Amino acid sequence: MTTGFSSGSSRFADYFVICGLDTESGLEPDELSALCQYIEDTKFRDGARGKLAMSNEGENFEQSPLRRTFKSKVLAHYPDNVEWNPFDQDAVGMLCMPKGLSFRTQVDCREPQFHSFIITREDGSRTYGFALTFFEEVTSKQICSAMQTLYHMHNRFNSYDISRDTLYVSKCICLITPMAFAQACRKVLGQLHQAVTSPQPPPLPLESYIYNLLYEVPLPPSGRSLKFSGVYGPIVCQRPSTSELPLFDFAISEMFNLLGVENVLQLFTCALLELQILLYSQHYQRLMSVAESITALMFPFQWQHVYVPILPASLLHFLDAPVPYLMGLHSNGQDDRTKLDLPQEANLCFVDIDNHFIELPEELPQFPNKLEFIQEISEVLMSFGVSPEGNIHSSENQARYPFRSVDMVSDNRNGNLSSPLTSYLLRENETIARLQALVKRTGVSLEKVRDLDAVGLLATNPHNKKQQLEYFPKSFSPTWKCAPVVFVSAEKAIEMRVAKIDHTALHPHLLDMKIGQGRYEQGFFPRLQSDVLSTGPTSNKWAKRSAPAQWRRRDRQKQHAEHLYLDNDQREKYIQEARNLGTTIRQPKLSNLSPSVIAQTNWKFVEGLLKECRNKTKRMLVEKMGREAVELGHGEVSITGVEENTLIASLCDLLERIWSHGLQVKQGKSALWSHLLHYQDSKEKNATPGGLGPPGFIHDTERRKSDGGGSAMPPLRISLIQDMRHIQNIGEIKTDVGKARAWVRLSMEKKLLSRHLKQLLSDHELTKKLYKRYAFLRCDDEKEQFLYHLLSFNAVDYFCFTNVFTTIMIPYHVVIVSSKKLSGSMFTANPWVCVSGELSETGVLQVPRNTLEITFECQNLGKLTTVQMGHDNSGLYAKWLVECVVVRNEITGHTYKFPCGRWLGKGVDDGSLERILVGELMTPTTENDERMCRTPPMQQSPGMMRRFVTISPSSKPKLNTGQIQEGVGEAINGIVKHFHKPEKERGSLTLLLCGEYGLVWALEQVFQHGFKSPRLFKNVFIWDFLEKAQVYFESAEQREATPDENWQTRVRHFCRFMRAINSTSRNIGKDGKFQMLVCLGARDHLLHHWIALLADCPITSQMYEESALIKDRSLVNSLIRVLQTLQEFNITLEASLVKGVGI
């Protein structure tokens, strides 16, 4: 076949199609709907309900014959085939008439209906269809008799009588085009239908107009307008240039009328998060309009997943697809939402368009600045007469045919917003103005947009807006910085194209047809002459040369100028991106429903799930490891602000989709929780009374060896069932979906997700009972790889359960480990502890002195930070040497060790009766591969060792000045790094202040260096020196010696802090008081002043040797400069560190 154009992209339309009733084959029940019913019935293969024979599945004897659907066929399409767009008969037939043929009588409504559709190929490329469905009188006596017989069979008399009623059947005419010129195609089809129904015949045979449209109307290039002739009038369309927003020929206002602003924003959020979206309406055009509008609003992003705006009735099993999708499902107008049996609902966004209703997945994040954004959009809509709440009645007529002539000059929807609306948006909304300016600078087009990570960008840390704005333009074309800055405004470009048409197509003309051909009968679409429509012109000089050559010459100079801005590498990258666009998108195939094709589609879904799991785990690990991952070459520092919660919610969505794939029978909204409940029931039934442990219990000697506290605290048992019970006992979680997500979070925090799921799937009989053979969970190799990817989460520490469920009650177990050498068996005092975390603290808890351990329940404390412990100094022997305190969260299993190594008691050590201990999370260290983990340095707590600083003079550590300076520098550097990290990556500030090698320890070393040896058996503490200095500063002698006002102010501050600490009711001892002074000085940025005071104090000469660091002026000045770096940071202290001090 030869055409009048040199390439496929030159044609406005590729095919003209007619679908309807094939009178030769007669009435046939829609076998595609029967296949759908068969697929639904297989869900009950193992149930008690009997299954109907396949031959009867298409028969629905409860419906009137006029309300049933029958098989439609593609009656004709012209031309037969084009090489650049092979005709897909099955797909076109299903989408032109998604529910098959419909019958009506003269008393029924028979208004024509227009709808558009998309055929998305497996490689992601798209073809657009525009269909007009109308009703035509049935003239076949056999069809009328068959309908009469059906009514008698169904005992429905007085509904249709062949002698008095006229029977009508639906027929569809359709255009298949390479681009979505919706308004132009609607006009074309409307005028063709008008020609058939008009009493007067059209000026030319219909073949002339269809031939002209197929072969003589070219596709306008980018930035050009075109006018061509319909049956009764001219039709104008225009195509935006590559420097403008992409072509969009639907009315966005219709979506806002149908749903309202708030629902649109929720739908937009679900699309950005790549959730499963199901649109539901009894109007096909509404499905298409909402789907196209919401994906257009995502620009510059693209929807990269399954996209079927109109899902034929025979393909309902596609809703079982375990991938993100955007699909549209036709409603019969009678069934409500509760009667819909959808395969998976845990992550589904269900949009009931006709009822102005949207059902959202659980735990959907809120759109940033949602209320302000809704207000801005509402103001814009109201200024153009569109109700922000939505007005479904204003859209009622848009789906029906009574076709209204749309003038291109007064309606600029053909590709862009009208000029007044655009101007208003740019004037009132800075964000939209910046976006438009950015698009103009980049010259972005759909061919240049990359596959962007919408979830990652949406979840970007709101505190890091600068990084967001830096990343946003980088996501566009790689030449965005090099693109020309001078562009004609989009509004003026549209107006110029409409005012001055770039090209007028050849008018329709008489064809070489025989006499008598081309006649028609009013009300009947004629059988067209295929001999004149199947081939295009062979010798039309205009068609071959004029228009394409004219446009090519006009564009060549412009394209050459644009390419001058690109170097060779950039040009090659552009070309490669254009070639690869859409090749990774998995799309269902509509054209063939054979078992082999369905099996192949399912296999692609399985492979896609595995790939998605690999990508998500990698993304989450890179995000969690943060800067360490950057150093290893994964990602960039500027994009590490992604919220952990959004990524984990995305993982939960993936797990739900995996567990929903191939279910035999759906039970509840969460397939994962349903599987867990089945597993729990089976194990509890099989549990024997004399068993060694609870159901689901696994002995783990590695865990036993590695858990904290050694013999002080028995290890927690690893039990999938026990973790389920923890979730079931949380009253705040009401739904199955919420319980499944909480269980996933808990398993991740315990580093047991892969292990638990492996145990769950090890029950092969249960898996076979619940899932079909093609399900992902029954593909052994892929399942093993999936579990292996999840195992990588053990490499990092998650607190995704602790940080989310902040109000639940959690049991904690505390063990106080006393010295083995000096046993606490004779200890007579009554000990107590107070455990503090990032969220709250417990208050004082009395500990039995005979066991020295306690289990209590309280509201979630968060990550634990400090333990305050002490005793009441009662009894004959109230001296107690404590090694450490171990605290364990009995749900998450997190174990914290709080080292002490000090005495508590009067007359021993520093005389303290209570101490503040800073702890660290203990990490398992086992040789088992499943338990191995390597925590990044930014999250790992510094090791803490026992400190015996003042037990005897000879035991003091001997560090030289260089080591002490290095220690102070490291401590200060740790605090500086803490504040320069993103907030989500910061560790515990208390640990940096009071932990091993923290600021308190470093300053201890400064003051201990060169301390004069006291008399034998007497301990002298730093606090003793500070108290003597305080006495001197408060004396009259000091005030007379230094009259400087700044100096006096610093002295007053120092003495006020000393008095406040000494007057506290807490018995914290001298070292505890020194720790409190350092913390308060760091908070109020006074440490460097106090160092200067003490270096010049005469008391220092009395208590320190000449070689002491505190007496070396150069070293002291260096220390002061280092401490001054803390002035720029706002240090907030934990309440436990300064409790009882009113400063």
Phi, psi (rounded to 5 degrees) for 537: -65, 145
pTM metric for this prediction: 0.67
CATH 1.20.58.900 maps onto the chain at 598-795, 953-1143
Mean pLDDT of 200-214: 87
Q: What is the pLDDT of residue 888?
A: 93
Contact criterion met (CB below 8 Å) for 201 and 218: no
What Å distances lie between residue 263 and 302, 310, 344, 350, 429, CA to CA? Answer: 20, 20, 21, 11, 21
Domain 806-946 has CATH 3.30.1360.120: no
Residue type, 263: N
| H or E element at residue 304 | none
Q: How is 72-141 classified by DSSP, letter by letter?
A: -EEEEEESS-BTTB---HHHHHHHHSTT-B-EEETTS----EEEEEEEE-TTS-EEEEEEEEEEEE---H
Averaged pLDDT score across all residues of the chain: 74
* More reliable by pLDDT, 1018 or 897: 897
Report the alpha-carbon distance of residue 766 to residue 193 in Å, rounded.
Answer: 58
Gap between the Cα atoms of 717 and 696, Å rounded: 10
Residue ranges with strand state E in 672-736: 697-698, 718-719
Residues 923-933: what's their mean pLDDT?
Answer: 47
Query: pLDDT confidence of 746, banded at 50, 70, 90?
Result: very high
By CB atoms closer than 10 A (0-12, 13-18, 19+), residue 710 is exposed
Tokens of 340: 């819909």
Out of 134-138, 343-347, 602-606, 1029-1033, pick the least confident. Answer: 602-606
Q: Is the peptide bond before 300 cis (omega within 30 degrees of 0)?
A: yes
Secondary structure of residue 941 in the 3-state scheme? coil
Angle at 1058 between CA 1056 and CA 1061, to 5 degrees: 105
pLDDT of residue 517: 59
Helix (H, G, I), strand (E, B) or coil at 361: coil
**Dist. CA 780–CA 799, nearest whole Å:** 31
Is pLDDT larger for residue 47 or for residue 910? 910
State the pLDDT at residue 416. 39
Check pLDDT > 70 for residue 293. Answer: yes
What residue has token string 């029977």?
167
Checking if the pLDDT of 788 tops 90, the result is no
Q: How confident is the model at residue 684 (pLDDT cuts 50, 70, 90)?
A: confident
Tokens of 483: 């693109």
Band of pLDDT at residue 278, cut at 50, 70 and 90: very high
How far apart CA 243 and CA 477 sit, in angstroms, is 12
What 8-state DSSP symbol labels residue 66? G
- Relative to beta strand 914-918, strand 864-871 is antiparallel
CA distances from 660 to 667, 676, 757 (A): 10, 13, 15
Phi, psi of 113, rounded to the nearest 5 degrees: -125, 135
Helix 1113-1124 × helix 1087-1095 angle, to 10° = 170
pLDDT for residue 904 is more than 90: no
Task: Of 245-259, 317-331, 560-574, 1012-1026, give the range with the top mean pLDDT.
Answer: 245-259
In sequence order, what are the beta bridge partners of 969? none
Query: Per this entry, what is the length of the chain?
Result: 1143
Contacts for 388 with CB less than 8 Å, ≥ 6 apart = 256, 260, 261, 374, 377, 378, 381, 382
Task: Look up residue 137 and give its two tokens.
Answer: 């009188």
Mean pLDDT of 524-550: 65
Spell out a b/e string for 300-319, using b for 16 or more CB atoms within 10 Å of the CB, else e: bbbbbbbbbbbbbbbbbbbb
AA identity, residue 17:
V
Rg (CA), the chain: 39
The predicted-structure confidence for 609-649, as pLDDT tens digits, reads as follows 777 777 777 777 666 665 444 444 444 433 333 456 778 88
pLDDT, tens digit, 9 for 90 and up, residues 1073-1114: 888 899 998 898 888 888 888 888 888 888 888 888 888 888
Identity of the amino acid at 345: E
Chain centroid, CA 278 distance in Å = 17
Range from 327-336, 658-667, 907-916, 925-934 carrying the lowest mean pLDDT: 925-934
> What is the spatial distance between Cα 1094 and Cα 1054, in angstroms, rounded to a whole number?
10
Asked whether 741 and 800 are in contact (CB, 8 A), the reply is no
pLDDT for 112-129, tens place per residue?
999 999 987 766 678 899
E strand or H helix at 846: strand 845-846
Residue that the structure tokens 């055009």 belong to: 285
Confidence at residue 1071, expressed as pLDDT on a 0 to 100 scale: 83
On the question of pLDDT at 762 being above 70, the answer is yes
Cβ 609 vs Cβ 776: under 8 Å: yes
Question: Residue with structure tokens 């997500």?
Answer: 741
Residue 238 dihedral angles phi and psi, to the nearest 5°: -140, 150
Assign residue 680 a region: left if phi > 0, alpha if psi is -120 to 50, beta otherwise? alpha
Query: Residue 183 pLDDT more than 60?
Result: yes
Q: Mark out the alpha helices in 484-563 (DSSP H runs).
A: 490-499, 530-533, 541, 547-563
Instruction: Give the closest residue to 1008 by CA, choosing from 1051, 970, 1055, 961.
Output: 961
Q: Is the pLDDT of residue 818 over 60?
A: yes
Q: State which CATH number among 2.60.40.10, 1.10.10.10, 2.40.30.10, 1.20.58.900 fits the domain covering 953-1143.
A: 1.20.58.900
Average pLDDT value for residue range 45-51: 37
Is residue 170 within a helix (H) or strand (E), and if so which, with residue range? strand 167-177
598-795: CATH topology is: Methane Monooxygenase Hydroxylase; Chain G, domain 1 (1.20.58)
Percentage with pLDDT > 90 across the chain: 12
422 residue type, one letter: T
Exposure string of 106-130, with b = 16+ CB inside 10 Å and e = fewer, is eeeebebbbbbbbbbbeebeebbbb
Q: How does pLDDT run across 685-702, given as a tens digit for each residue? A: 876 554 444 444 444 433
Q: Which residue has the higher pLDDT, 928 or 202?
A: 202
The SS3 call for residue 885 is strand
> Cβ atoms within 10 A of the Cβ of 617, count?
19
Percent of the chain with pLDDT over 70: 69
pLDDT band at 552 (very low <50, low <70, confident <90, very high): low
Give me the residue label for tokens 């007496």. Answer: 1111
Q: Is 307 helix (H, G, I), strand (E, B) or coil?
A: strand
Express each pLDDT in 946-976 by its tens digit: 333 333 334 445 788 888 889 889 999 988 9
Average pLDDT (205-212) is 88
Per-residue pLDDT of 63-79, as tens digits, reads: 555 566 677 888 888 88
- H-helix or E-strand containing 813? strand 809-818
Q: What is the rounded distance in angstroms from the CA atom of residue 740 to the CA atom of residue 728?
A: 10
CA angle 254/258/261 to nearest 5° reads 90
Confidence of residue 451 (pLDDT cuts 50, 70, 90): very low
Neighbours of 928 (CB within 10 A): 13
Res. 775: pLDDT tops 70: yes
Mean pLDDT to the nearest integer, 422-437: 48
pLDDT above 70 (res 568): no
Beta-carbon count within 10 A of 714 CB: 12
Give the best-scoring range by mean pLDDT among 82-91, 161-170, 510-519, 1035-1044.
82-91
Q: Look at the alpha carbons of 698, 704, 709, 713 in this order and tell me if their dihedral is positive or negative.
A: positive
